[in-house]
Structure 1
Amino acid sequence: MAIHILGIRHHGPGSARNVKTFLESVKPDIVLVEGPPEADGILQWAAHEEMRPPVAILCYQPDNPRQSSFYPFAEFSPEWQAILYAKRQNIHIRFMDLPVAHQYALENEAQAAISSQPENAGQETAPSPPQDENTTTVPGQPAIENEVLHEIPVRYDVASLAHAAGYDDGEKWWEHMFEHRADNQDIFTAVMEGMGSLREIYDGKDNKLELLREAHMRKVIRQAEREMFQNIAVICGAWHAPALHNMPPQKGDNELLKGLSKVKTECTWVPWTNSRLSLYSGYGAGINSPGWYEHIWHHQEDDGTKWLVKVAKLFREKQMDTSVAHVIEASRLANALAALRNLPKAGLEELNEATLSVLCGGEPVLLSLVQAELIVNNRIGEVPVDIPKPPLQQDIEKIQKRLRLPAAADWKDYLLDLRKENDLERSVFLHRLQILELKWGHRSDVTGKGTFKEQWRLQWDPGFSVDIIEKGVWGNTVEEAATGYLVHLAKEAADLPAVGKLLEAAIPAELPLAVDALIQRINNLAAASSDVVQLMEVLPGLVEVSRYGNVRKTDAALVMGIVESMTVRICINLPPACQAIDEDAAAHLQALFPKLNDAINLLQHGELTGQWEQTLKVISQNQGTAPVLAGYATRLLADRKLLTGDELVKAFYYAMSSASGPGIAAAWLEGFLTGSGAILLLDNDLWGVVSSWVEQLEEDMFIEVLPLLRRTFSNFSRPERKKLGEMVKRGGRAAVPVTEKSFDGQRAEQGIPVVMALLGLQH
């Protein structure tokens, strides 16, 4: 009976090639691979013709999907090659790591223990130490290992061996020693000895999770021996190889594994991306250059020329001139550097230096393009459509295919015209995913005043698989899940603004059941609410919702009833709310006025418009109104042409008179001039009132109100401030407005034929 322990790096073409060669030579009758035993049942899919790495095994706890782990595989992963070999040779293959059912249970117990400690009450949990090199978790999810299970976070790895060999970079040392090595005979013996030396320095006895994992690996090996397998191949991380080669007594392992609790888990295959294999993603076993490793896996004999051809092709696609001579010179330089450094052939470092010098002309910005497009190469894998998946994920993939919205790892932009049926369906689908908090699509503003266009930027992330599983409890289809989740959020929401935002999200997602529930919730909250500020915050969003009636075939009348009711309440309660308030409260209300004013204008509802205008008059004339709000209400009345000419000047004189304190007058002026000072440039009378008021201020009063005036005028545009300054210089005369008396109709009529001719029309 022979047991072959193959210590490998989890994602390395050299290790993958060595494993493949070794298995083909020894021809084992069973292969044991470091990985979750729960996934043994889905290994049959690995050899499926539609499986395209990079892919990952997703293990998760069904009743707590956030408790999940990914086990990624690239084509150049040694474990992947071992799995393919076993499937092609039709021999047994098993995963042998500690089941994730136990790992999740240990994690849950550890988190419960930390939460129950009195000194930790109300405090955030301390960050977990680095995870094991073979797993990665969803961003924001606690790592499997934590302070209880992993008390000593120090870890000795290939970086220690690289340092001993005189390298400051473990990645570079590994690449030189293994990825480009010509003679790999006895390579696994060398790895075993090297890691054995490291384990003598750090025995790992204080790392409970590591001890459990290695004990279970040895248990699986012993089980294979009892089943009379004669030729056993074990593929594991290099760190674990000595622990599996020098087996301790079985009794100790049994005692260690005895009584472990577990939880229910499920597993499936999901597509993965090269970027998530990279070290920069936070993946514990990440590599710097997945795209480069993929290249040397397929082109082991390449001396760098084929890689440089890829670089040149990329530059040409980006409209950058790159000749064959550039490639030849870069190849010569890379190989010369390798020779000077006593390397068997040019590696990525040498090729990057040659690319920077010859192809990039010394510009590091161009090299960053190579890094993103080739060295990392953010490609997404594929899994067979027949793989068992949660119902919600199946529905999402079905809709993606029908609407021709492929899940891509790179950004892709879509400009949707909602007047087209397919684009409208795409928009509805993306809005529903946003409700489910699946951030596949990011919406941006589109220039123009129409509501029939939407700009979306899509980028798929493998981590969405966990989000989909989590949201699957709300329904088996996208529509059902989005509706159920919205109704749940509506019940949980405690204030009007929160429910209003949910309604704004529900309308473009075309979820009528959710809309009905949200409107009922808003009605209930609005009826019980006496806070006019909340009503003002919600109303503009509801008015905006009504605009979708034409484009999205939504019954906008559903919201008009509540809009009318809320507008009436606002008009009744707003004047008292503007009285006897401090400066901060007045500023908050003032910020809501323009949105509310625009919303009422948008409605074009005569009765509501009349009520709003009457409310503005009451606010502007009430002596108890905060001055800044009284000034702004007066400005809105002037903009609506309800206060003009002598009447406007009279209101101005009254507010700026000496009877009013300087601070009150300055605040009123600030409110009136909010947003624009153009009215002072066009109306000599108003300018005269302001100018006279400033001139009559005594020195101490002027110093008191100066900060307010500076704040008011600093909000004007630069051209407005310049024009106002010029008016002061020339004695305070505004531009002469155009009136009916100064308009020469006969002269204007003479230009009409010319304009019509320019437009190609006949007069």
Structure 2
Amino acid sequence: MSTHILGIRHHGPGSARHVKEYLEKVKPDIVLVEGPPEADSILEWVSNDLLKPPVAILAYQPDAPQKAVFYPFAEFSPEWQAILYARRNNIPVRFMDLPMAHQFELKAEKAPKPEAEAPSLNNSLAPYIPDTNIVRRNPVAYLAGAAGFADEEKWWEHMFEYRQDPEAVFTAVAEGMQALRQDLHLPYDREEQLREAHMRKTIRQAEREMYTEIAVVCGAWHTPALLNMGKAKDDNELLKGLPKVKVATTWIPWTYNRLSYNSGYGAGINSPGWYEHNWRYHDDDGTRWMSRVARLFREQQKDISVAHVMEAVRLANALTALRGLPKAGLEELNEATLSVLCNGEDILLQLINEELIVSDKIGEVPTDIPRPPLQTDIEKLQKKLRLPQTADYKDYVLDLRKDTDLERSILLHRMEMLDIRWGHRYGPSGKGTFKEQWRLQWDPGFSIDIIEKGSWGNTVEEAASKYVQHQAKTATSLKEVCTLLETAIPAELHDAIEALVQQVNNLAAATGDVMQLMTVIPGLVQISRYGNVRKTDATLVDGIVAGMITRICVSLPAACIGIADDAAAELLELIYNMNDALLILQDPELTTQWQQTISYIARNDSSAPVIGGYATRLLADHRQLSGNDLVKVFSYAMSAATAPAIAAAWLEGFLKGSGTLLLVDNDLWTVVYNWMHQLEEDAFKQLLPLLRRTFSGFTKAERRKLGEKAKGGVSGTTGVSQHTMENIDATRAMKGIPVVLQMLGVK
């Protein structure tokens, strides 16, 4: 009976090749692999041709899906090759790590680690010996530093990954790890002890089952603990009485860029694309890699010849020889690429990193693998609507007049409602348009969100609807509910919309805060006015909008009295948006109510000056105040009897958004001119910042014309403008008015 301990580096292509060759040589009758035992039941899928790495085992608690962990595998992962060997040779394969049923609970109750005595580091060995904290997290960094390498990944590659004798490599790994564990005296926490105890327990179980050749594939650090088995009694005592929870597992697609994350057994790599190249072409002297780089550059319209490739390969191999390395690594190839192919422009290396070194490859999982019903429905809709899961960004412009694009939009909005941010809208869509712009990128981490949201329903529509209804019931803010309503309508969640409308109605009736009501009106008006673009009946909100506007019209005048400047500025913006909303709504009855309200505010001397000024401007815009009446109101507000600060605030409100009135109405211009002319110097200096803020809101053209008009003094006209006014043909001008009115849609 023989037990073979194969210490490997997770996701190491050389380690994967060594494991494969070693297993083919010793022909074990059982293979044990570091990983969660709960996933033993899904290992049968590894030999399925439709399960294409990179993939990951997702282990999670069904009753708390947010507690989950991923165990990713690439084609070049040693564990994957070990499992694949066992499946193809019809021998048992098992995971031997501490079950996640225990690990989830241990992580939940894990206390902060006590400060341990720092290991004694001999910094005289080399200038690259890392500090104590790095060694605690990654002990291999100590060996790399002792060998003169600042990067432990590069050291491991050259010392173990590129070697040809698997047996010698595994022996060297075991000796190196044994020396580290004996000499560094690193902190050894309880969870690690439990994990290694369970690994030994699994090996003993295989021995009791009379397997004669047992292959054990584990992380290199655990090798000494499995070579020195110790007493079974001690391990059993250590594992006794551990807390336990229910755990489910499944396969999910993974991506190369997420292989750089630390998850599962804590492994992460920076260059999965390069590692895949090493796995497939381990005898490459750099020629194949440089050819791929050249092909990438040619696709970017950069001229690269065969001579460039040959020269870059020669330079990389020369660097390798100078550094005493057995084979050109990524660092040497990148330096050669930078010098020969990039002409020293390191910005092109970023392209190589994204496309080749990391890559955006995503794995595939068979459709018949057991998975949550919600995930099955999402994948079915993705296939139907031709929206594949991709690791890179993909942009879509959807025309909502087309059935397929409309269904795509509905799906993306529903996913957004479920907080699964697969798609992100970008770019101005405009009011009432038929287009949406989306950028999609699939993240394997969405699997947890899908499992979590699966408790609300088995289909996307059902889950989104029930989840939104739950949010509506628990929401206490009117703005929050209205925001949900805005997003639920394009998602076509009819049951949820009815619940949200009812909640909006309840909250609106209960609130006496006019500012809160005004905050949500613009969004509701957008729904009422433009909801039918998506073939959605938006009349559900019409009654609510009318009732809320009526409440606002009743309460707003009182809200404008006796408020501080900051509150007045905030209320001014709300009135501005409210007026825009009513212009969009085009409801005569509500418009009349609004005109009566702003008329009362404008004529009330107790209203905040800036709001009173803006209310007067709105009356002028609505043609409720014009001619001499407007001049009288304006003159009264800007008279010498009015305090300069109040007059300036009133003027700021009146001119909010545009100064056109001052350009076209010389009477108003004269009032402003005379008011400013009679200001004392000290008062003018105090008001100057306010006046500058008022005029800074105008367009450049308005400011320029106002400056030109100011040169004309009280008359406000220049020689050119006077000449133009004197030569107007009134008869010809009147003929153009009907055409302009027709263009504006005025009957």
Pair in the same fold by TM > 0.5:
yes
Provide the C-alpha distance between the structure 2 equivalents of 1:528 and 1:307, rounded to a whole number of angstroms: 69
Structure 1 residues 743 and 30, CA gap change in structure 2 (3 angstroms): farther
Q: What is aligned with 2:13?
A: 13
8 Å contact from structure 2 (residues 35, 265) kept in 1: no
Contact 1:39/1:95, CA 8 A, preserved across alignment: yes
- Does residue 23 of the first structure (1) align with residue 4 of the second (2)? no
Which whole-Å CA distance do the structure 2 matches of 1:345 and 1:430 have between them?
A: 48
1:183: Cα distance to partner?
4.5
Within a 5 Å distance, the mapping from 1:133-152 to structure 2 comes to none
Any conservation in 2 of the 1:508–1:548 contact (CA below 8 Å)?
Answer: no
Residues 1:46 and 2:46 are matched in the alignment: yes
- Unmatched 5+ stretches in structure 2: 117-132, 737-747
Contact 2:71 2:263 in 1 (8 A): no
Is structure 2 residue 172 aligned with structure 1 residue 197? Answer: no
Aligned to 1:696: 678
User: Match of 2:155, SS?
Assistant: helix
**How many Å separate the matches in 1 of 2:573 and 2:16?**
63
Q: Residue type matched to 2:471 in 1?
A: L
Deviations 1:72-126 (A, max 9, x none): 001000000000000000001000000011011122334xx79xxxxxxxxxxx9
1:609-668 Cα offsets, whole Å, 9 max, x none, are 111122111111111111111111222222333333322222211111122111111111
Decide which of 306, 313, 319 is 1:337's aligned counterpart. 319
Query: Which piece of structure 1 moves more, 636-645 or 478-487?
Result: 636-645
Q: CA deviation at 1:281?
A: 9.7
CA contact (8 A) 1:204 1:211 kept: no
Computed over aligned residues only, the root mean square deviation of the Cα atoms, in angstroms, reads 2.4
| 1:118-169: CA deviation from partner (whole Å, max 9, x where unpaired) | xxxxxxxx9999xxxxxxxxxxxxxxxxxxxxx9992342211110101111
* Higher mean C-alpha displacement, 269-278 vs 658-667: 658-667
Counterpart contact for 2:62–2:246, Cα < 8 Å = yes
2:261 is the alignment partner of 1:307: no
Deviation digits for residues 488-541 of structure 1, max 9, x if unmatched? Answer: 101111021111001001100001100111111111111111111111111111
CA spacing shift, 1:108–1:280, aligned 2, 3 Å:
closer
Q: Residue 185 and residue 634 in structure 1: after superposition, are their counterparts in 2 closer, same or farther (change >3 A)? A: same
* Distance in 1 between residues matched to 2:568 and 2:153, nearest whole Å: 61
Matches within 5 A, 1:160-239: 160-203=142-185, 206-239=188-221
Are 1:563 and 2:549 matched, yes or no? no
Q: Aligned to 1:291, which of 273, 296, 301?
A: 273
Q: How does 1:74-473 map to 2 (within 5 A)?
A: 74-110=74-110, 154-203=136-185, 206-278=188-260, 284-446=266-428, 448-473=430-455
Is 2:135–2:141's contact at 8 Å kept on the other side of the alignment? Answer: no
1:647-658 equivalences in 2 (<5 Å): 647-658=629-640
Q: Select the residue among 601, 623, 642 that pairs with 1:641.
A: 623
Q: Distance in 1 between matches of 2:287 and 2:248?
A: 45
Does the CA-based 8 Å contact 1:58-1:71 persist in structure 2?
yes
Find the counterpart in structure 1 of residue 127 from structure 2. Answer: none
Deviation at 1:548, TM superposition (A): 4.0
Provide Cα deviations, 1:212-271, integer angstroms capped at 9, x if missing partner: 100110110111111111100000000000011011211111111110010111000000
Counterparts of 1:681 and 1:205, CA distance in 2:
79
Contact residue 205 and residue 211 of structure 1 kept, 8 A = no
The structural deviation recorded for 1:181 is 2.9
Distance 1:374 1:75 in 2: 16
Alpha-carbon distance in 2 for matches of 1:326, 1:127: 56
User: CA shift at 1:749, angstroms?
Assistant: 8.5
- Matched position secondary structure for 2:252: strand
Q: Secondary structure at the match of 1:186?
A: helix
Residues 86 and 669 of structure 1, relative CA distance in 2, 3 Å threshold: same
Partner of 1:721: 703
2:728 paired residue number: 742
Aligned to 1:142: none
Q: Is the 8 A contact 2:563 2:608 kept in 1?
A: yes
8 A contact 1:657–1:693 mirrored in 2: yes
Distance in 1 between residues matched to 2:733 and 2:288, nearest whole Å: 76
Distance 1:483 1:740, change over 3 A: farther
Distance change (3 Å), C-alpha of 1:494 and 1:9: same
For the 8 Å contact 1:53–1:74, the answer to whether it is kept is yes
Give the deviation of 1:604 after TM superposition: 1.3
What secondary structure does 2:58 align onto?
strand
Cα 1:613–1:741, aligned 2, differ >3 Å: closer, same or farther? farther
Residues 418/575 of structure 1: CA separation in 2 closer, same or farther (3 Å cut): same
Task: Answer whether contact 1:5 1:233 (CA < 8 A) is retained.
Answer: yes
> Does structure 1 residue 576 correspond to structure 2 residue 576?
no
Check whether the contact 1:152–1:206 (CA below 8 A) recurs between aligned residues: no
Partner of 1:67: 67
Structure-2 separation of matches of 1:448 and 1:318: 34
Distance across 1 between alignment mates of 2:568 and 2:735 = 50
Contact (CA 8 Å) 2:250, 2:371: kept in 1 or not? yes
State whether residues 253 and 444 of structure 2, in contact with CA within 8 Å, keep that contact through their aligned partners in structure 1. Answer: yes
Q: Is the 8 A contact 1:546 1:559 kept in 2?
A: yes
Counterpart contact for 1:280–1:288, Cα < 8 Å: no
Rounded Cα–Cα distance in structure 2 between residues aligned with 1:523 and 1:128: 58
Gap change, CA 1:726 and 1:282, over 3 Å in 2? farther
TM-score after normalising by structure 1: 0.90
The answer on whether the counterparts of 1:680 and 1:686 sit within 8 Å (CA) in structure 2 is: yes
Aligned equivalents of 2:265, 2:617: Cα separation in 1: 58
How does the TM-score come out when normalised to structure 2?
0.92
Q: Does 1:3 align with 2:3?
A: yes
CA separation in 2, counterparts of 1:628 and 1:45?
Answer: 71
Q: Which of 599, 603, 626 is residue 608 of structure 2 equivalent to? A: 626
Contact 1:29–1:229 under 8 Å retained in 2: yes
Residue 554 of structure 1 is matched in structure 2 by: 536
Provide the C-alpha distance between the structure 2 equivalents of 1:740 and 1:284, rounded to a whole number of angstroms.
84
Q: Contact 1:680–1:734 (CA<8 Å) still a contact in 2?
A: no
Please state whether the residue corresponding to 2:109 is helix, strand or coil: helix
Identity %: 65
Q: Do the aligned residues in 2 keep the contact of 1:156 with 1:198 (CA within 8 Å)?
A: no
| Change beyond 3 A, Cα 1:562–1:739 | farther
Report the Cα offset of residue 450 of structure 1: 3.8
Distance 1:242 1:561, change over 3 A: same
Partner of 1:140: none
CA–CA separation in structure 1 for the residues paired with 2:446 and 2:254: 11
The answer to which of 679-688 and 730-739 deviates more is: 730-739
* Aligned counterpart, 2:508: 526
Number of aligned residues: 716
Residue 456 (structure 1) shift: 0.3
Distance 1:321 1:447 in 2: 40
Change beyond 3 A, Cα 1:235–1:429: same
Residue 745 (structure 1) shift = 5.0
Partners of 1:321 and 1:368 in 2: CA distance: 18
What is the Cα deviation at residue 572 of structure 1? Answer: 1.1
- CA gap 1:416/1:656 in 2 versus in 1, 3 angstroms: same
**CA displacement at 1:283 relative to structure 2:** 9.3
Aligned residues of 1:687 and 1:734 also touching (Cα < 8 A) = no
Given that 2:76 and 2:279 are in contact with CA atoms closer than 8 Å, whether structure 1 keeps it comes out as yes
8 A contact 1:579–1:626 mirrored in 2: yes
Q: Report the secondary structure of 1:263's partner residue.
A: coil
What is the CA-CA distance between 1:205 and the residue it aligns to? 5.8
Report what 1:144 is aligned to: none
Aligned to 1:513: 495
